[in-house]
A and B are shown apart, each in its own frame.
Chain A
């Protein structure tokens, strides 16, 4: 089954404790992206990657890092989480060979930073 898999689904942590949210897709998509969803703000793009070893900042990259060492994986790293990073995070991927292909989303990771 074609899917985008995020782990964990829920995460509670404390300020300053490094964490990684994993994202993996099995559709051989070149493009992957991370979004955070906050009430009243919709989804805002954190980082995206157009292919292996190619990453770029989205609208709200501060406090986050990503890496794209393999095509299928695109982990989101919070080196020193803060309470304002409490949010619902979604990873997504799409096929860039077809310009009008839609995004496929993961099930989300709800992060709480205390």
Chain B
């Protein structure tokens, strides 16, 4: 199983709504990532969790709140978003940088296409 599963695939939300994006993997990866990707741009790192602890927060506004309830799940809670937050949100997982193992690849989910209206 080399899948990273993201739900929902599409999300339209108003600026006063609260919603959550979910990400799940069962590869035993202990590093998980949230990226934001605007059209025709590279993925932009938002958060990194390593062994279920937040290790990197790239100065992301507090209207984005990550959560890692266990080693397989990663959530991104959204509240009071702005239209400019509309983008493709990608989750990825990998073995942590210092980790050793057979599988060394990082895998991406299919993404959630978010539209803020």
Partners in one complex: no
Chain B residues packing against A (C-beta within 8 Å): none
Chain A: residues with CB nearer than 8 A to chain B?
A: none
